[in-house]
Structure 1
């Protein structure tokens, strides 16, 4: 009987280990124009309060040449990237490259398409993107669900919405990317959110990510689901 109890207890612990409460996320912040620090702090608080997810951070600025707390990455389950044109060298650069090349999960936001000067292939090789600049600021951009992928779990409960801003251009996305959202306006029609399975690696990227987006429950809900998806965890 004692052995049966121990076996049952072990099974419970195993199941608990697969839930989202065990997730640890490391976030790279360094995109001043889009207030990445404030937005990631807000989102991480939401993740902790709602799901019990722990977040660690590397706070820095655009074009950073050295950063702090990158060693916390080794204990993370997911890497979140929201920085711009970092110029790291040596061990710090290698730590990020090693993570991405090892097939571990990545969730990338807005300027992550051009996050690393030392690893420019991150956009095409890891994200599957083809960042080619952006259009002008527009007062109204329609965020639309891609019909053929409307049943994807990441889009659950999501409806189109309107928001202003500049639309990032990605004209040649990798064929193994599954586009979920497009931004449409009189000037642009671009993919703005997709997921990718590259070997054993799961990746999600969105070129949305303005401060107002992080105030929008639709966008935050999409990020929540994407985070659980890349980590292969249950909400």
Structure 2
């Protein structure tokens, strides 16, 4: 009954009328019809998605002939403010997007903004998610009770899992905490072309094992091994094993009845994207989601950064780059 109630609330959210217009407009010329449009939905106050996602967007634009739009959490003056959990720009662009990429955390968007995201997810078009998309939303106030289905049920069904727990922070950005390797039998997956195992700064998320399992047809392609674990120190490895999927593919069939391709990774520390393998993983995953795996070269997508990528470390508060406006 709880699941049916949650499902009803989600269907209501996705079908309760046309969404209102975004207050942030996009510019530029209309791209050729055969040039896919990828919309990045960013907004997290911890992992510098406002730096890593535009970096990926630049590579897609310059190296892979993809049109991109990046939405951000902004303050009232139009300056990027990841701590503003109540607004994300450019969501109107999802209406005709070919792919939605989500790297957001604990947003409390108004219903009309949230509906633009959920309407896209229900449409049968592909999705890509990074790390905290397992907890894109966090509604806690009684007035938002109809939206609370988005906290856990929505990411579980769409992306494969909700937020559960991780293996510990341990001085963020000062050491590598997860050994990332290819899952046995997945070496030929096109998303892994050009990928080489590496050690990630991302501390390992628990997504499978104990009382939890990945949802639907989630199919892990990369595994992570925690190199340092609070769960191990606390004697909880029966509940939270040291080895976890860190990237998987799945499908999500929403109200449209059309199965959508989904690629998800729990990696996403800003320093992870300094690794070529991480950038190839992200770009290959985007191309796979778009149904263009045949266009992925044998050595993987061109992951050459455009300009410089010198992200701030992860962390809360005012540690993000101040006074930056969207590109």
The alignment's TM-score, normalised by the length of structure 1, stands at 0.85
- 1:34-53 alignment to 2 at 5 Å? 34-53=47-66
Question: Helix, strand or coil: the match of 2:280?
Answer: helix
Q: Distance in 1 between matches of 2:136 and 2:108?
A: 9
Alignment match, 1:58: 71
Pairing 1:123-134 to 2, within 5 Å after superposition: 123-134=155-166
Structure 1's consecutive aligned runs of 4 or more residues displaced over 3 angstroms after TM superposition are none
Query: Residue 201 of structure 2 contacts residue 269 of structure 2 at CA under 8 Å; is this kept in 1?
Result: no
SS of the equivalent of 1:126 reads: helix
Is there any run of 5+ residues in structure 1 with no aligned partner, and where?
1-15
1:194-213 matches, within 5 Å, as: 194-199=248-253, 200-213=259-272
Aligned-residue offset at 1:62 = 4.6
Deviations 1:109-154, CA, capped at 9 Å, x for gaps:
0111100234122221101124312111354421011012222111
Instruction: Give the structure 2 partner of residue 181 of structure 1.
Output: 222
- The alignment yields a C-alpha RMSD, in angstroms, of 1.9
List per-residue Cα deviations over 1:78-122 (Å, max 9, x = no partner): 001001111112321111111112221110001111002341222
Q: How does 1:115-126 map to 2 (within 5 A)?
A: 115-117=136-138, 118=147, 119-120=150-151, 121-126=153-158
Q: Which residue of 1 aligns with 2:187?
A: 150
Aligned CA distance change for structure 1 residues 162 and 34 (closer, same or farther; 3 Å): same
Q: Which structure 2 residue ranges, 5 or more long, are not aligned? A: 1-31, 74-81, 139-146, 230-241, 254-258, 297-327
Kept in 2, the 8 Å contact 1:116–1:122? The answer is no
Of 266, 273, 276 in structure 2, the residue corresponding to residue 214 of structure 1 is 273
1:83 matched to 2:104? The reply is: yes
* Distance in 2 separating the partners of 1:155 and 1:221: 8
Q: Alignment length, in residue pairs? A: 217
By percentage of residues, which structure has more helix?
1
- More displaced 10-residue stretch of structure 1: 40-49 or 88-97: 88-97
Q: Are 1:62 and 1:85, in contact at CA under 8 Å, matched by a contact in 2?
A: no
Higher mean alpha-carbon deviation, 44-53 vs 63-72, is at: 63-72
Which of 27-36 and 64-73 deviates more?
Answer: 64-73
TM-score by length of 2: 0.62
2:143 match: none
Q: Secondary structure at the match of 1:45?
A: helix
- Counting strand residues as a fraction of each chain, which structure ranks higher? 1
User: Where does residue 205 of structure 2 map in the other structure?
Assistant: 168
| Residue matched to 1:28 | 41
d(CA) in 2 for partners of 1:165 and 1:113?
15
Distance 2:131 2:43 in 1: 11
Q: What residue in structure 2 maps to residue 95 of structure 1?
A: 116
In structure 1, distance between residues paired with 2:104 and 2:251? 22
